[in-house]
């Protein structure tokens, strides 16, 4: 079949945008026109704009920084306070930068993308590298900011708009990886060249410290400022799941000029980090070294100096089981916290490195953390403190932020609750439970159900089934005030499927649905849908599916391969044309996940490409497509073309494209509330 809709890939083309505006107008006059929609949008917007939300903070010097958005400050305030003030109900915030005022003054649609504060030298904590995006796209601009005068430096570091990164080495030097002319980016559109940029130099004249290949994913460099262990690093990502890490030093010897690179002798598929004199290696694949085989999913440790000298006597800090995986870890100044997930439920362990090389790691369980739900920790100050922020949440319990002092030997003090998200919906009468469905190949697939305790089990409950299933990303229980208000309190059942392709059971769970095995993720999701019907929680006429990005590809395959299981489907910022995805924006970066359409992989990609699987003669459930014009990661052409093809065949299609928003679909709270209300009202109307 030829592609009659290629013209819709012209992101800003007049004809394509006219089509978008026409579809948006239809949606505005239908789905978004009623009082129920306005009320749903209002309820979600209240949550997003609430002054009672937890302001997440990050420490720099004596200050704790936060970016805050609400109804008045839709683009955000960059502000700071002290810890003592933060502990109060009404912290005293010192506003550093008003992004709304900046956008108005510069006539730009700025979206905050983050800031990196200088932390060393005489100018420590007085300078920052602030990144801003136009409309929420991945590409952004970085400008040097003076925290004392609250102004951008006219002669400071400025990285022009591009996908890339810049980070401090010292007050007059940064590492930068960004577009600097022809062939300076990879095939995927990310930086190919890393430079050391000194104040006063043009970006193009900055010293090149590393050049990758055009076929690579990206290249970057960064400085580890840990006192006494300062090091410079280069990371070359050769694919989404493989990378090379190099220790960067000055070249030595008579007449030496430039840099020396020492590649770490670990598998390219492993994730490696170095803290002080400890190196951690997290394995994605089995690794045999010096006669010992370490399994995929294990976390290994070794003294870094000893490793450079040739030692390979690793200590196993974590080894997976069939039901458990390492969800993550965090280093403080002297401790290591492991987040271990068993059947998608978190527990934390505190480890202390040995005092002498070759010694044993001390290990204790963190106390005070909840037994159920999701727990995440992050260091308060990884250079100088053994305290962590601890976030705890589940589907019915608002998120709480606590401060935890890990103490000597990791015998932590009781968590000190600092902030709690308000209760945005009444959870009385609601319960959460976990079930397991059996997929087509016999694999047990876990899923969570949030439902009324007195559910009739007659198959009539409107039910939303959500999934992702890719890139080793886990879906864990989390509180959503907007979802609770818009769906649960109106009698809906909410279900999250932990299908293969995610990371819920480690790298093996992810790899089981890679490339030619992708169909397993979709069979898992379909198995959960059938299990919900078998349990009489719902039935196909009342079951909706939703997914975004890679999850949009999942939802697209539910639409085209399992249409009989669903009464309506929401497909958000999706991939759908798997024969051309690698040619569109950042698509080439995902070849390791999906396969290469320019090779024999094209055959199996055809079996998971919704755009090509669509059959005009076949009945399909109603579908809502949403995307963003400013999404420079997943091309809006995927959603445009699929919607156009289905509309031409007379199918029940609703379409909405936000003109701003980037890959997140929305650039501010108003847009986010509108996009979410479209999804919930569409499902409510079609599944009732």
Q: Other C-beta atoms within 10 Å of 98: how many?
A: 17
Return the structure tokens found at 73.
């400050």
Is residue 658 in a domain? yes
pLDDT at 191: 97
3-state secondary structure of 509: helix
Choice among 269, 549, 589, 628 that is catalytic: 549
Say how far apart CA 418 and CA 402 lie, in whole Å: 5
Tally of CB atoms within 10 A around 458: 10
Global confidence as pTM: 0.91
Cα–Cα distance for residue pair 91/264, rounded to 1 Å: 45
The dihedral of CA 141, 586, 666, 489: what is its sign?
negative
624, 654 in Cβ contact below 8 A?
A: yes
Whether residue 375 lies inside any domain: the answer is yes
How far is it, in rounded angstroms, from Cα 306 to Cα 328?
25
What span, in angstroms and rounded, lies between the C-alpha atoms of 236 and 295? 24
Distance, CA of 276 to chain centre: 27
The catalytically annotated residue of 113, 612, 663, 674 is 663
Report the run of H or E that residue 219 belongs to, with start and end: strand 218-224
In this structure, what DSSP letter does residue 201 have? S
CA 289 to chain centre: 33
Question: For residues 550, 555, 556 and 561, what is the CA-based torsion angle, rounded to 10 degrees?
Answer: 130
Q: Same structural domain for residues 411 and 549? A: no
Same domain for 306 and 331, yes or no, is no
Domains contained in the chain, number: 4
Final residue of a domain: which of 401, 422, 443? 422
Q: Regarding beta strands 568-572 and 543-548, do their DSSP bridges make them parallel or antiparallel, or are they unpaired?
A: parallel
Q: Are residues 538 and 399 in the same domain?
A: no
655 within domain boundaries: yes
The CATH number covering residue 563 comes to 3.40.50.1820
Q: What is the pLDDT of residue 409?
A: 66
Half-sphere exposure of 179 (CA within 13 A, CB side): 16
Who's near 72: CB < 8 A, 6+ residues apart?
none
Same domain as 455, residue 326: no
The answer to whether position 666 is within a domain reads yes
**Cβ-proximal residues to 240 (8 Å cutoff; 6+ apart), any chain:** 217, 471, 589, 590, 591, 592, 593
645 plus 681 within the same structural domain? yes
Tokens 């990310």 sit on residue: 190
Residue 136 gets the label, from left (phi > 0), alpha (psi -120 to 50) or beta, of left
3-state percent breakdown (helix, strand, coil) of the chain, nearest 5: 25, 35, 40
Q: Torsion angle, CA of 296/297/302/305, rounded to 10 degrees?
A: 80
Q: How far is CA 481 from CA 72, 346, 422, 511, in A?
A: 20, 22, 9, 33
Residue 75 lies in a domain: no
Instruction: Specify whether 188 is catalytic.
Output: no
Please compute, for residue 561, the number of CA atoms within 13 A of its CA located in the half-sphere on the CB side.
Answer: 24
What residue numbers bound the domain in which 250 lies? 170-263
Q: What's the confidence (pLDDT) of residue 135? A: 87
How many whole angstroms separate alpha carbon 367 and alpha carbon 347? Answer: 10
Task: Answer yes or no: do 283 and 249 share one domain.
Answer: no
8 Å CB contact between 586 and 533: no
Give pLDDT, residue 418.
96
Residue 125 lies in a domain: no
Q: Looking at the DSSP assignment, which residues form a beta bridge with residue 464?
A: 494, 544
Q: How many CB atoms within 10 Å of residue 35?
A: 7
Domain final residue pick, 403, 422, 441 = 422
Which of 390, 422, 454 lies at the terminal end of a domain, its last residue?
Answer: 422
- In this structure, the answer to whether residues 497 and 626 fall within a common structural domain is yes
Q: Please indicate, yes or no, whether residues 622 and 501 belong to a single structural domain of this protein.
A: yes
Helices within 562-687 (DSSP H only): 591-594, 601-605, 610-613, 637-648, 669-687
C-alpha–C-alpha distance, residues 156 and 148, integer Å: 14
Residue 243 is a catalytic residue: no
- Residue 635 is assigned to a structural domain of this protein: yes
Place of tokens 């445009």: 640
Answer yes or no: do 286 and 362 share one domain: no
Query: Do 556 and 525 meet the contact criterion of CB atoms below 8 Å apart?
Result: no
> 652 and 609, same structural domain?
yes
Asked if residue 459 belongs to a domain, the reply is yes
Question: Under a CB-based contact definition with an 8 Å cutoff, are residues 468 and 558 in contact?
Answer: no
**Helix ranges (DSSP H) in 402-549:** 481-486, 507-511, 519-534
Please check whether residues 567 and 643 belong to one and the same domain. yes
Chunked into runs of 10 residues, the chain (688 residues) has average pLDDT values of: 92 96 97 96 95 94 96 94 97 98 97 96 97 92 98 97 97 97 93 98 96 96 95 96 95 70 97 96 97 97 96 96 96 95 94 87 87 89 94 96 86 90 96 97 98 98 98 96 97 98 97 98 98 98 98 98 98 97 93 96 98 98 96 93 98 93 70 96 97
CB neighbours (10 Å) of residue 165? Answer: 24
Q: Quick one: angle between helices 637-648 and 550-561, nearest 10?
A: 20
* Domain match, 537 and 401 both: no
Q: Does the CA dihedral 494-500-502-507 come out positive or negative?
A: positive
């Amino acid at each position: 079949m030829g592609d009659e809709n290629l013209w819709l890939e012209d992101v800003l083309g007049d004809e394509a945008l006219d089509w978008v505006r026409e579809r948006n107008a239809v949606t505005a006059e239908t789905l978004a026109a009623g009082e129920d929609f306005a009320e749903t949008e209002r309820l979600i917007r209240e949550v997003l704009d609430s002054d009672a939300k937890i302001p997440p903070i990050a420490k720099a010097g004596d200050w704790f920084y936060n970016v805050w958005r609400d109804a008045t400050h839709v683009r955000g305030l960059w502000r700071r306070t002290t810890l003592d003030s933060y502990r109060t109900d009404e912290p005293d915030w010192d506003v550093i930068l008003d992004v709304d005022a900046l956008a108005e003054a510069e006539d730009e649609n700025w979206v905050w993308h983050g800031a990196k504060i200088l932390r060393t030298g005489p100018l420590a904590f007085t300078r920052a590298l602030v990144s801003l995006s136009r409309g929420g796209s991945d590409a952004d601009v970085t400008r040097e900011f003076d925290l004392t005068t609250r102004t951008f430096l006219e002669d400071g570091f400025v990285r022009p708009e591009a996908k890339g990164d810049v980070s401090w080495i010292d007050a007059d030097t940064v590492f930068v990886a960004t577009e600097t002319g022809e062939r300076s980016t990879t095939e995927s559109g990310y930086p190919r060249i890393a430079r050391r940029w000194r104040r006063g130099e043009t970006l193009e004249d900055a010293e090149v410290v590393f050049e990758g290949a055009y076929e690579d994913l990206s290249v970057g460099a960064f400085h580890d400022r840990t006192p006494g262990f300062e090091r410079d690093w280069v990371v070359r990502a050769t694919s989404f799941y493989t990378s090379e890490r190099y220790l960067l030093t000055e070249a030595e010897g008579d007449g030496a000029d430039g840099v020396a690179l020492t590649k770490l002798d670990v598998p390219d598929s492993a994730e490696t980090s170095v803290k002080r004199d400890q190196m951690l290696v997290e394995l994605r694949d089995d690794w045999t070294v010096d006669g010992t085989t370490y399994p995929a999913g294990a976390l290994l440790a070794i003294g870094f100096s000893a490793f450079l000298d040739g030692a390979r006597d690793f200590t196993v800090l974590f080894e997976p089981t069939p039901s458990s995986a390492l969800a993550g870890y965090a280093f403080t100044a002297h401790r290591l916290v492991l987040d271990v997930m068993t059947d998608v439920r978190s527990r934390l362990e505190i480890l202390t490195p040995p005092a002498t090389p070759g010694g044993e790691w001390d290990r204790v369980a963190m106390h005070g953390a909840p037994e159920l739900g999701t727990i995440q920790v992050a260091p308060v100050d990884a250079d100088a403190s053994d305290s962590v922020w601890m976030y705890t949440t589940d589907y019915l319990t608002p998120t709480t932020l606590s401060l935890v002092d890990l103490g000597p030997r990791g015998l932590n003090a009781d968590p000190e609750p600092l902030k709690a998200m308000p209760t945005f919906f009444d959870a009385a009468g609601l319960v959460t439970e976990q079930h397991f469905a059996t997929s087509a190949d016999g694999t047990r697939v876990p899923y969570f159900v949030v439902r009324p305790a007195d559910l009739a089990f007659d198959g009539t409950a409107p039910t939303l089934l959500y999934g992702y299933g890719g890139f080793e990303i886990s879906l864990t229980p989390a509180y959503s005030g907007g979802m609770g208000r818009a769906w649960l309190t109106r009698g809906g059942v909410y279900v999250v499927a932990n299908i293969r392709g995610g990371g819920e059971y480690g790298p093996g769970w992810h790899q089981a649905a890679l490339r030619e095995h992708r169909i397993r993720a979709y069979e898992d999701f379909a198995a959960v849908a059938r299990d919900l019907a078998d349990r009489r929680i719902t039935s196909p006429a009342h079951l909706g599916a939703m997914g975004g990005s890679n999850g949009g590809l999942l939802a697209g395959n539910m639409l085209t391969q399992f249409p009989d299981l669903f009464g309506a489907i929401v497909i958000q910022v999706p991939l759908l044309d798997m024969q051309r995805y690698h040619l569109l924006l950042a698509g080439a970066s995902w070849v390791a996940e999906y396969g290469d359409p320019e090779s024999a992989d094209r055959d199996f990609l055809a079996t998971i490409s919704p755009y090509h699987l669509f059959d005009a003669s076949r009945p399909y459930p109603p579908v809502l497509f949403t995307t963003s014009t400013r999404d420079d990661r997943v091309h809006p052409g995927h959603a445009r073309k699929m919607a156009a093809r289905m509309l031409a065949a007379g199918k029940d299609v609703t379409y909405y494209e936000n003109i701003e928003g980037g890959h997140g679909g929305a650039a501010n709270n108003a847009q986010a509330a509108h996009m979410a209300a479209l999804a919930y009202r569409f499902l409510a109307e079609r599944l009732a």
